[in-house]
Structures are given as C-alpha cells and as structure tokens.
C-alpha cells in the first residue's frame, strides 16, 4: 500500500534520521523539495505544540489572578457594607474595650458637661479635649468621628455647616481646603483625613499607642458651626459617633457623645436640665400629696354640740348655715362617715329659708 507522500508502509518506517539526512545532503549536493516541505511541516507542528503547551500553562495563572481580583472586590464590597455612610448609634466596647472620656473640665470656661444629660455644651471654634483608650494598647488602629442627628427622623440627613459659616469670606475658611469647609467637626491631629460618602461627612485619625506612663491617647476637636444655625443643623440635637477601626475599615468598637454647639454653654445646660427635671417630678409630687393628705386628715370627732346664736342679717345667717354645712360635708367625704353626718346636714337644710 502506498501513502499520499509516495512511500509504502514499509518505506515509511525506514525514513532517514537527522544525522543520516545531513550526510546524504552532503553527498548528493541538493535537497529534494518534498523533504523540505515535510521538515517544515514537522517544525511547524512542533512549534505549534510548544505554543499550545505554553498557553495551557499560562491560562491557569491568569485564572488565579482573576479570582484574586474578584475576591478583593468582594472583600471591598463586604467592608463597605460593614462601614455604611450613616453610622449606627448603638454603643459597644468590642474586644478591645474601646472607651472615651472627657479631659479636664475645670480648666475650661468654654465648654461644660452635664452629668444628667450625658451631654457636652461648647462654644463654637473652641477645643474639646477627649481621651481614647483600648486594651491592649496596640498600634495600627483608626478613629473615625462622625457628627449625626440624634433624632431618628433626621438620621439620613448629613450634618453640614450653614451657608454663612461656609462662605468664602468667613475668617475660619482662610487657607482651608474647599473639601474640608463643609465639615462641622475638625480635628487638631495632623494625621487626620476628611472623608465624604454619599454626602455624609466623617474624619479619620490615626491612633498610635499611648505614650509611656499613660493609658489613653488625647485627641482634640473643634466645631465650626452652631446647632442654632437655620441653614445648617437648624436647632436639631446632634451627637458624635466614635468608631475604632482597623486598617481594613472593620469596626472594632463604637461610642457616642451628645454635643450642642452654642453661644452660652452654661445657660443652655441649665435650661435643658430644668426641662428634664420639670417633666419628671410631676409624678413624684402627686405621689407625695397622698401621704401628706393622710397625715393632715382630722380625727373623727363625733361629739355633737348644740349652738344657739343670734345673727343679724339674713345674708349673714345663710352664710353661717352654709359654712357649717360645708365643713361637715367635707369631713364626711374625708372620713367616709356619710351616714353619721347626714342627719345633721339635713337639719341645716331644713333651717335654711
């Protein structure tokens, strides 16, 4: 049987090797054309096979890179869900027992703290010193501070400065990045980053471990707008939300601190505390009135006195009878002895013209 190349089956098995081929070419002085075609096809097939092998080896590597990118995207989406634009208000210390406390209040005349309201009252553009603590005091943590509205109906509204305080001619806006001007809260720490997500503002501060001999890290804040500004917070109560985060933006702890930025902190503090006190003691006063009335209740004196009086004037006479009737009626009501007082009260009615 003859193949398409002109060789029989027995001849195909006797094809020359490469060394024998070189010797034959040297002896005859030329190369048959069908040999060149055959060799070229073999080289192309060999090259193609190598290319295919390279592609097959490279393909899994590309798949791994794509899988890693997809995994990173999923992680980013996961962390975004954990860190929404609107912070949650529920407090929790977390694994690191995250705590926040106030600095020395006695040394400042521009802010005060209410123990009853658990709230800070402070002047605008004044410094509020706070102390942050976590255990163990490790490095690599971030402090996110966001100012939000306390009432749930305004939770989705971003807290921003009013139009007057955001004006370019305002002295507090000189040499300030335009992206920072709208923030009500400012941090004096030089490693603070100002962020905005879906119009909600927050600031992120890097936290280093406390200095030797100290158990907390001091961080100071300023407020560049008042709660009473009409085009800004518009008299709505506000509070600060502090979250302890790691470098992957995962929340490790959360604390809250109600704050009111005003012109007269002490006056507003007394006013709000009085409102709380005035609403609560009403129930207590009612409860106290009952035992006092029991103590002042007159004893049940059942001794009967016969009084004969000469009274000048009909009006005076009727007034005396009415007064006697009212006294006995009141005593009957307080003591519950209506049957005892009824005959004497009826006698007075009979004497009334």
- State which of 273, 294, 326 marks the end of a domain: 273
Quick one: 318 and 265 in the same domain?
no
Residue 187 counted as domain residue: yes
Compute the distance between CA of residue 220 and CA of residue 301 in angstroms, rounded to an integer. Answer: 72
Q: Which of 221, 209, 212, 217 is nearest to 131 (CA)?
A: 217
Quick one: 176 and 259 in the same domain?
yes
How many Å separate Cα 101 from the centre of its chain? 17
Residue 78 counted as domain residue: no
Quick one: 241 and 173 in the same domain?
yes
Give the residue numbers of the binding site.
162, 165, 225, 229
**H helix or E strand, kind and range, residue 264:** none
Using 50, 70 and 90 to split pLDDT, how confident is the model at 67? low
Give the residue numbers of the binding site for Zn(2+).
162, 165, 225, 229
Residue 284 counted as domain residue: no
Quick one: 223 and 333 in the same domain?
no
Quick one: 256 and 321 in the same domain?
no
Please, what sign has the CA dihedral across residues 168, 169, 174, 175?
positive
Q: Which of 13, 219, 199 is nearest to 101 (CA)?
A: 219
In the beta sheet, which residues pair with residue 206? 142
pLDDT reported for residue 108: 78
Compute the distance between CA of residue 105 and CA of residue 258 in angstroms, rounded to an integer. Answer: 16
Q: Which of 105, 144, 136 is nearest to 248 (CA)?
A: 144
Burial (CB < 10 A; 0-12, 13-18, 19+), residue 126, is middle
Report how many domains make up the chain. 2
Using 50, 70 and 90 to split pLDDT, how confident is the model at 330? confident
Tokens of 183: 């923030």
Quick one: 106 and 174 in the same domain?
yes
Using DSSP's 3-state secondary structure scheme, residue 40 falls into helix
Quick one: 205 and 339 in the same domain?
no
pLDDT reported for residue 313: 86
Burial (CB < 10 A; 0-12, 13-18, 19+), residue 68, is exposed
Quick one: 225 and 321 in the same domain?
no
Quick one: 207 and 341 in the same domain?
no
Q: Locate the DSSP E strands across 52-153.
A: 99-102, 111-114, 119-122, 127-133, 141-149
Q: Tally the C-alpha atoms within 13 A of residue 3's C-alpha that lie toward its C-beta.
A: 8
At 25-63, the pLDDT tens digits run 555 555 555 455 455 455 444 444 444 443 344 445 546
Quick one: 254 and 320 in the same domain?
no
Domain containing 338 equals: 314-351
> End-to-end distance of the chain based on CA atoms, in angstroms?
156
Residue 257 counted as domain residue: yes
Residue 198 counted as domain residue: yes
Percent of the chain with pLDDT over 90: 41
Residue 215 counted as domain residue: yes
Using 50, 70 and 90 to split pLDDT, how confident is the model at 107? low
Q: Lowest mean pLDDT: which of 44-53, 170-179, 191-200?
A: 44-53
Nearest 5°: the CA angle 103, 126, 147 is: 80
How do 119-122 and 251-261 pair as beta strands? parallel
φ, ψ of residue 217 to 5 degrees: the values are: -115, 120
Compute the distance between CA of residue 161 and CA of residue 183 in angstroms, rounded to an integer. Answer: 6
In this predicted structure, the answer to whether residue 306 has a pLDDT above a threshold of 90 is no
pLDDT reported for residue 293: 41
């Amino acid at each position: 049987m003859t193949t398409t190349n002109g060789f029989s089956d027995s001849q195909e098995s006797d094809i020359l090797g490469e060394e024998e081929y070189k010797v034959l070419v040297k002896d005859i002085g030329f190369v048959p054309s069908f040999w060149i075609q055959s060799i070229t096809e073999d080289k192309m097939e060999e090259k193609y096979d190598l290319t295919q092998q390279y592609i097959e080896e490279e393909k899994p590597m590309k798949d791994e890179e794509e899988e890693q990118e997809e995994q990173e995207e999923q992680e980013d989406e996961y962390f975004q869900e954990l860190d929404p634009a609107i912070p949650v208000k529920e407090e929790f210390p977390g694994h690191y027992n995250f705590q926040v406390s106030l600095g020395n209040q006695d040394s400042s005349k521009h802010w005060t703290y209410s123990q009853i309201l658990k709230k800070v009252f402070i002047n605008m553009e004044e410094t509020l010193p706070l102390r942050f603590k976590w255990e163990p005091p490790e490095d690599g943590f971030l402090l996110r501070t966001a100012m939000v509205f306390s009432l749930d109906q305004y939770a989705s509204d971003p807290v921003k400065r009013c139009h007057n305080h955001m004006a370019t001619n305002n002295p507090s806006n000189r040499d300030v990045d335009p992206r920072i001007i709208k923030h009500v809260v400012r941090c004096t720490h030089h490693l603070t980053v100002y962020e905005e997500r879906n119009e909600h503002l927050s600031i992120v501060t890097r936290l280093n471990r406390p200095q030797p001999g100290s158990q907390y890290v001091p961080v100071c804040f300023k407020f560049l707008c008042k709660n009473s500004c009409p085009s800004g917070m518009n008299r709505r109560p506000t509070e600060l939300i502090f979250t302890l985060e790691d470098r992957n933006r995962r929340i490790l702890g959360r604390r809250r601190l109600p704050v009111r930025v005003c012109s007269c902190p002490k006056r507003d503090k007394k006013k709000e505390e009085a409102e709380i006190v005035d609403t609560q003691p009403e129930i207590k006063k009612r409860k106290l009135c009952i035992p006092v009335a029991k103590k002042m209740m007159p004893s049940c004196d059942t001794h009967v006195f016969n009084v004969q009086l000469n009274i000048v004037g009909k009006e005076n006479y009727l007034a005396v009878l009415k007064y006697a009737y009212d006294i006995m009626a009141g005593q009957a009501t307080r003591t519950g002895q209506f049957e005892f007082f009824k005959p004497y009260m009826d006698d007075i009615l009979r004497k009334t013209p």
